[in-house]
A and B are shown apart, each in its own frame.
Chain A
């Protein structure tokens, strides 16, 4: 059974860099899926951040204006998110998820999420 688990600091200082990892178990990141990051500000809806394929091919939400870097480590079966120059607006629960492709592209498995708070 596929499981994903986010890890990383829960508190980041404003203007610094947010770094999170997602460990995948029950499937290989080398599989034919994109590995994704989605966030949810407190009390608000879901925002797609981006996703990456095991080859390193990545796509991200243009609204993040180049602050995002995605990477994948096939040896650890992990993928990671780096978000630069964070502000309070980046405070959110961050989810990693698998983007599955069949009858469209959707997120079929999610991690439990991790709350990241940006402090001033």
Chain B
């Protein structure tokens, strides 16, 4: 994937975890916005964060995100069992690698 995420992260209930999304000068570094999705197993992805750090209605404020330079990150505080899911970042790339690009995904395990 053009956007690189760690394959997995884990944390105990109540803890804080972060998931990184590393891009390059043709996508995140070119000032394109980053968005995040949560995918519970066997369900469709759900928009979690849009426009780098905005939460859609209904998403708890335990979820936050930031962007800096050529990378972005998602933070989850007060980890809960229902947060166990796959998380994907998404941005735009101006090269021939494709207009819309996703990170490879990160599996979050709540211990």
Contact = CB atoms under 8 A, between A and B. Distances in A.
A106 B50 CA distance: 7
B23 interface: no
Interface string B50-66: 11101010000000000
Nearest to B53: A103
B101 interface: yes
Contact of A104 (B33, B44, B96, B97): B33
A46 B92 contact: no
A31 interface: no
Nearest to B103: A45
Given A45-B88, A104-B51, A110 B102 contact: no
B98 A45 contact: no
B52 to A, nearest CB: 7
Contact of B90 (A62, A103, A107, A109): A107
Interface string A71-114: 00000000000000000000000010001001111111111110
A103 B51 contact: yes
A36 B90 CA distance: 14
B102 A45 contact: yes
Interface of B: 1, 32-35, 37, 43-47, 50-52, 54, 56, 88, 90, 92, 96-105
Interface of A: 36, 45-48, 51, 59, 61-63, 95, 99, 102-113
